[in-house]
Amino acid sequence: MLLELTWTDIALRLALTMLAGAIIGFDRGARGHAAGFRTTILVALAASVAMILANLLLSVSGKTPESFSTMDVMRLPLGILTGVGFIGGGTIVRKGDLVIGVTTAATLWLVTVIGLCFGAGQLILGMMATALAVITLWILKWVDPMIPREHRARLVLACEPRPQGGRAHAAGAYAKARRRHIEGRSKMSKRQLENALGMR
């Protein structure tokens, strides 16, 4: 981190921060996620400005070289990380056995750290983190559905008895067999589970 910042350095850091936030948030915004295009830019920008502010508050005039070891310049960035942790925790929602919003929370936290990297002048580290985030969010999303997982579902059928006993008995046996198959712990992909439930 530079002790003396110029306006050119500040402009470069802010521009790279906004670019990184826009790249990461573009895909999430296009798919309708909570932390989309503008949200990721704002979170990254807030972290970067906080880090630049910490750099600017580090006054070098009238200080001896030994005095810098006692300064806690990371207090403001750590406060930013803590605040984003609370925001990320609020995006995680549990509906029964389904937990959603974890990737959104992780994205917000990562964008914050990337903003801190650019704000501190660690441009190469920030670019590397942005590239890895893009690979994880854009490219690995095609690999994720291919991973076999154990899914559990419950299918409840309400049938009214009909006068034709044979047909009603056959339908009830089929529903019972199907319910046992779906409720059992079977390794099915998400697509196979949706097909079994008739959602496709």
Residue-number span of the structural domain to which 179 is assigned: 149-197
- What is the reported pTM? 0.66
Instruction: Give pLDDT, residue 48.
Output: 92
Q: Is 2 part of a structural domain of the chain?
A: no
Q: Is 109 part of a structural domain of the chain?
A: yes
> How far apart (Å, rounded) are the C-alpha atoms in residues 19 and 44?
10
Is the same domain home to 139 and 186? no
Determine contact, residues 119/49, Cβ cutoff 8 Å.
yes
Tens digit of each residue's pLDDT (9 = 90 or more) over 87-144: 888 888 887 777 788 888 889 999 999 999 999 889 999 999 999 999 988 888 788 7
Q: How confident is the model at residue 185 (pLDDT cuts 50, 70, 90)?
A: very low
> How far apart (Å, rounded) are the C-alpha atoms in residues 45 and 114?
9
- Residue 169 or residue 64, greater confidence: 64
What are the tokens at 36? 């989309």
What are the tokens at 24? 């990461």
Task: Decide if pLDDT at 57 tops 70.
Answer: yes
Determine contact, residues 15/84, Cβ cutoff 8 Å.
no
DSSP lists the bridge partners of residue 200 as: none
Determine contact, residues 5/56, Cβ cutoff 8 Å.
yes
Q: Residue 19: which H helix or E strand, with range?
A: helix 7-30
Task: Decide if pLDDT at 187 tops 70.
Answer: no
Is the same domain home to 97 and 156? no
Q: Which of 21-35, 57-71, 160-174 shows the lowest per-residue confidence on average (mean pLDDT)?
A: 160-174
Q: Which residues of 66-141 form beta strands (DSSP E)?
A: 93-95, 98-100
Rounded to the nearest 5°, which phi and psi values hold at 174? -65, -45
Is the same domain home to 125 and 166? no
- Residue 39 or residue 70, greater confidence: 39
Is the same domain home to 18 and 113? yes
Question: What's the total number of domains in the chain?
Answer: 2
Rg (CA), the chain: 26
Which residues fall within 8 angstroms of residue 58, CB to CB, at 6 or more apart? 1, 3, 68, 71, 73
Q: Is 1 part of a structural domain of the chain?
A: no
Q: Among residues 146, 172, 189, which one ends one of the domains?
A: 146
